[in-house]
C-alpha cells in the first residue's frame, strides 16, 4: 500500500446512508478491516461530540458515529408521520448497523446512547465484542439531581414548570451548562461544542422533536432490569469512563455497573457530563489499553 493510501484511511469521512425513507448522516474514519467502534451520542449533541476521539483512534480502529433521526445532519421527518421514541431510534440504528454490515462491535454509549444501544445489544447480543460506557445510566441509583428535578415536576403534574425546564435545556445557556457543569477544567471545553448543538436546535422543528423524546424518556426506566440481566448473563468486557460530578448521571451510576459486572474497568474523572471535552486524550489512551487487552485475551 502506498503512503498516500495509508494516510487516506486516517481522514474522517462524512457520509449519508438511506435507512428506509430517511437519511442517516455519519462520521467514519479508519480502516474497515480494523476492529469496529460504534459511537452512540447523547443529548443535546450529535456525532460532533466524537470529533476529536475519532481522529485520536483512527490509526488502529474503524470508527463510525451516526446522528440519530432529528439530530445533527440526519433527516428530521415530521413527527406527524414518524415515531420519535427510543424504541424507534434503536430500530433505526439497528438497521444502520446491518446496512453497513458491522459486526464484532465495540459499542461506545453516552447519555441517550445508553437506551439506544442497550435496546440493540439485548436484542442482538451476537453483535457485541465489548462495551464502553461514558455517563450512560442503566441503574436507578445513577439518576442525579437534574433527572430527579424533572421527575418531580412530572409527578406534580407541573406541566408549565416542566416545559420551562426543558426549554431552558435547549437554550444556548442551558446547553452550555450541560457541558461546563461539574468540570475541573472549564477552559478545556471548546465553545464549538455547545454552539454547534444550539445551532442544530435552532433549525425548524428540532425543539419539538426533542420535547417528544423527553416525554418518551420514561420508557427507559422499566427496561433497566432487562439491561442489567443482559450484563449479568453475558458478562461483556466493559470499560467505564465517567465524569463523577455529572448532575444528570453522577458517579454512583458508574459504580453500580460493578454489581452485575465485577470485572468491569471503572475510571471516575473529576469532570462532568461531557467527559471527552475535558479528558479526551486520557479517555483515548484508556480505550486503546482496554481494547489491546481484549485482543490479547482472545488471540491466545
The total number of residues written for the chain in this structure: 300
Active site residue 198: no
Phi, psi (degrees; rounded to nearest 5) at 43: -90, 145
Nearest-angstrom CA–CA distance, 135 and 138: 10
Say if CB 116 and CB 95 are below 8 A apart. Answer: no
Alpha helices, H only, 100-222: 113-123, 145-155, 159-169, 172-180, 191-201, 206-216
Catalytic residue among 41, 48, 146, 273: 273
DSSP state of 25: E
141 CB-contact burial (10 Å; exposed 0-12 / middle 13-18 / buried 19+): exposed
How many Cα atoms sit within 13 Å of 188 on the Cβ side? 16
Q: Count the Cβ atoms, other than its own, within 10 Å of residue 280.
A: 18
Say if CB 102 and CB 38 are below 8 A apart. Answer: yes
Nearest-angstrom CA–CA distance, 199 and 151: 28
Query: Long-range contacts for 184-189 (Cβ within 8 Å, ≥24 apart)?
Result: 184/245, 184/270, 184/271, 184/278, 185/271, 185/278, 188/277, 188/278, 189/274, 189/277, 189/278
Nearest-angstrom CA–CA distance, 230 and 202: 38
Burial 221-249 (b: 16+ CB within 10 A, else e): eebbeebbebbeeeebbbbbbbbbbbbbb
Q: Which residues are catalytic?
A: 273
Amino acid at each position: 500500500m502506498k503512503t498516500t493510501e495509508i494516510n487516506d484511511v486516517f481522514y474522517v469521512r462524512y457520509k449519508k446512508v438511506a435507512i428506509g425513507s430517511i437519511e442517516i448522516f455519519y462520521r467514519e474514519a479508519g480502516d474497515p478491516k480494523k476492529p469496529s467502534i460504534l459511537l452512540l451520542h447523547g443529548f443535546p449533541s450529535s456525532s460532533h461530540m466524537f470529533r476529536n476521539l475519532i481522529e485520536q483512534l483512527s490509526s488502529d480502529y474503524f470508527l463510525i458515529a451516526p446522528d440519530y433521526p432529528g439530530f445533527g445532519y440526519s433527516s428530521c421527518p415530521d413527527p406527524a408521520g414518524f415515531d420519535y421514541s427510543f424504541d424507534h431510534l434503536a430500530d433505526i440504528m439497528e438497521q444502520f448497523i446491518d446496512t453497513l454490515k458491522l459486526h464484532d462491535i465495540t459499542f461506545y454509549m453516552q447519555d441517550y446512547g445508553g437506551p439506544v444501544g442497550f435496546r440493540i445489544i439485548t436484542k442482538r447480543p451476537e453483535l457485541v465484542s465489548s462495551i464502553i460506557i461514558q455517563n450512560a445510566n442503566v441503574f436507578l441509583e445513577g439518576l442525579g439531581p437534574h433527572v430527579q428535578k424533572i421527575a418531580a415536576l412530572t409527578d406534580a403534574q407541573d406541566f408549565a414548570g416542566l416545559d420551562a425546564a426543558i426549554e431552558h435545556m435547549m437554550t444556548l445557556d442551558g446547553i452550555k451548562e450541560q457541558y461546563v457543569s461539574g468540570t475541573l477544567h472549564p477552559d478545556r471545553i471548546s465553545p464549538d461544542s455547545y454552539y454547534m448543538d444550539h445551532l442544530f436546535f435552532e433549525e425548524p422543528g428540532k425543539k419539538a422533536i426533542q420535547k417528544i423524546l423527553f416525554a418518551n424518556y420514561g420508557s427507559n426506566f422499566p427496561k433497566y432490569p432487562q439491561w442489567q440481566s443482559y450484563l449479568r448473563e453475558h458478562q461483556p468486557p466493559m470499560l467505564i469512563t465517567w465524569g463523577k460530578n455529572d448532575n444528570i448521571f453522577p458517579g454512583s451510576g458508574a459504580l453500580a455497573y460493578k454489581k452485575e459486572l465485577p470485572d468491569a474497568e471503572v475510571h471516575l474523572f473529576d469532570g462532568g457530563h461531557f467527559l471527552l471535552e475535558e479528558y479526551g486524550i486520557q479517555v483515548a489512551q484508556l480505550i486503546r489499553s482496554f481494547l489491546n487487552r481484549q485482543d490479547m485475551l482472545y488471540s491466545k
